[in-house]
Amino acid sequence: MSETLVTGASGTLGGALLPRLVDAGVVVRAASRSPPDGDAEAGAQTRTEETEGRVEWVEMDLVDGTGIESAVADVDTVVHAASAPTGDTEAVDVRGTERLLDAAASAGVEHVVYVSIVGIDEIQYSYYQHKLTAERAVESSDVPATIVRATQFHSFVDEILATVSRLPVWPLPTRFRVQPVDHREVADALVEYATGEPRGRVPPVGGPEVRSLGELATAYREARGLRRPIVRLPIPGSTASAFREGRATCPDRAVGMTTWEEWLAAEYGGDSEPTAAPPSGAPS
């Protein structure tokens, strides 16, 4: 029976991938630097409950190389979802990916599915540049691959707004245009690819709507019953203007169905309605 390794299995996307792959009949090996056990912290435990006993966890560190060879041994497919957006992205996303690919090639892995981000070739941001270098390593590897780009996850936008919401006013680049998607819908698409033949670069997976960050923040504030003012933070430079121009979006690939308001309602309760245009007086 074929076996699939999921890197980044303890992360947001990885946590959604595991039960979906298992339900698709795949034997799953899940990799993390700290595999959950009886002493795992509560969050990790909750994320892994759904697949308890149905997934083999292994310890693997892409930076120091711990466990990579044994993680890829005897697997046919690797879904590579490990990443370190706020850490040493070059060490994890570039050199770690290269290490993983070398080990996968030596072990005779037949398919690597790489998870990437929409717009990384048009936005000059160091994390994105490292993801682009990783994509190129995947493409030039001997292991046949599928590269799937996705837009920002709803949960990621939620994390940013949760951080900002602690401040007395919310300074935000309200004109950034994003197309957030439910990460579970990205996981659904990835399962399709992971259980099929390698396909090279495939069309990206985007959320249902392109929205301004101002609109998203306004809906978030309503869903959480907060009142603090949202203030437009002007950010100079080419990275910010690329986000304002919508370079991180793929409107012709609006694959995800769950809108931001629907996601907020499920997360925070209530029946938040879409706010396609910010109410008068709200920032844009």
Ligand X SMILES: NC(=O)c1ccc[n+]([C@@H]2O[C@H](COP(=O)([O-])OP(=O)(O)OC[C@H]3O[C@@H](n4cnc5c(N)ncnc54)[C@H](OP(=O)(O)O)[C@@H]3O)[C@@H](O)[C@H]2O)c1
182: Cβ–Cβ under 8 A, 6 or more apart, which residues?
153, 154, 207, 256, 257, 258, 263
Instruction: Single out the residue of 4, 141, 152, 218 in contact with ligand X (rule: CB under 6 A).
Output: 152
Distance CA 253, CA 201 (A): 14
Q: Confirm if 95 and 68 have CB atoms less than 8 A apart.
A: no
Angle between helices 260-268 and 154-164 in degrees, nearest 10? 60
User: Counting every residue, how long is the chain?
Assistant: 284
Choose the stretch contacting ligand X; rule: CB under 6 A; options: 28-36, 194-202, 216-224, 274-282. Answer: 28-36
**Is residue 14 close enough to count as binding ligand X by CB under 6 A?**
yes
**Interaction residues for ligand X, span 212-271 (CB under 6 A):** none
**Is residue 146 close enough to count as binding ligand X by CB under 6 A?**
no
Residue 132 amino acid letter? L
Distance CA 205, CA 147 (A): 11
**Is residue 36 close enough to count as binding ligand X by CB under 6 A?**
no
277: Cβ–Cβ under 8 A, 6 or more apart, which residues?
215
CB-nearer residue toward ligand X: 139 or 273: 139
**Is residue 150 close enough to count as binding ligand X by CB under 6 A?**
yes
Q: 211: which 2 tokens?
A: 């929205």
DSSP, collapsed to helix, strand or coil, labels residue 108 as: coil
CB-nearer residue toward ligand X: 173 or 270: 173
Choose the stretch contacting ligand X; rule: CB under 6 A; options: 1-9, 46-54, 221-229, 236-244. Answer: 1-9
**Is residue 117 close enough to count as binding ligand X by CB under 6 A?**
yes
* Cα 268 from chain centre: 21
List Cα–Cα distances, 218 to 139, 185, 230, 261, in angstroms.
40, 24, 8, 10
Instruction: Single out the residue of 4, 11, 94, 224 in contact with ligand X (rule: CB under 6 A).
Output: 11
**Is residue 170 close enough to count as binding ligand X by CB under 6 A?**
no
**Is residue 8 close enough to count as binding ligand X by CB under 6 A?**
yes
DSSP, collapsed to helix, strand or coil, labels residue 71 as: helix
**Interaction residues for ligand X, span 75-104 (CB under 6 A):** 81-85, 92, 96
**Interaction residues for ligand X, span 55-74 (CB under 6 A):** 60-63
In the complex, the smallest distance separating the C-beta of residue 72 from ligand X, rounded to whole angstroms, is 13
State the residue number with the nearest CB to ligand X. 11
CB-nearer residue toward ligand X: 60 or 223: 60
Q: By the criterion CB under 6 A, which residues form the site for ligand X?
A: 7-14, 32-34, 60-63, 81-85, 92, 96, 115, 117, 131, 150, 152-153, 156
